[in-house]
Amino acid sequence: MTYLSITQTAERWGISQRRIQILCNEGRIPTAIRIGRVWAIPDDAPKPVDARIKSGKYIKSKNNQESGDMNG
C-alpha cells in the first residue's frame, strides 16, 4: 500500500495541510496512521465530507451582513 504525506494529500484534495491534520486527529480519516509525529495517509483514502456546517444555512454573503447591522 502506498502512503502519502499531509502535504501530498492536501494538494490532491485541494484543502489546507492544517485541515488534513485536524481530520487525522479527529479520526475522520480512519485508514490514516501516525508514525512518530507524522501522519501517513493511504493513497486510496477517500476525502471525508465536510461536517463543519451541518444545517447548510450559514452562507456568508453581503446581504446577510447588511440585514444584521442595526447601527444604520
pLDDT of residue 67: 55
The helix (run of H) or strand (run of E) holding residue 20 is: helix 17-25
Tell me how far apart the alpha carbons of residues 7 and 15 are, in angstroms, rounded to a whole number: 10
Q: In order along the chain (72 residues), what is the average pLDDT of each group of 10 residues?
A: 95 95 94 95 92 67 58 54
pTM (global) more than 0.85: no
Strands 38-42 and 3-4: antiparallel
Domain extents in the chain: 3-67
Tell me how far apart the alpha carbons of residues 30 and 10 are, in angstroms, rounded to a whole number: 16
Tell me how far apart the alpha carbons of residues 62 and 50 are, in angstroms, rounded to a whole number: 23
Tell me how far apart the alpha carbons of residues 17 and 63 are, in angstroms, rounded to a whole number: 32
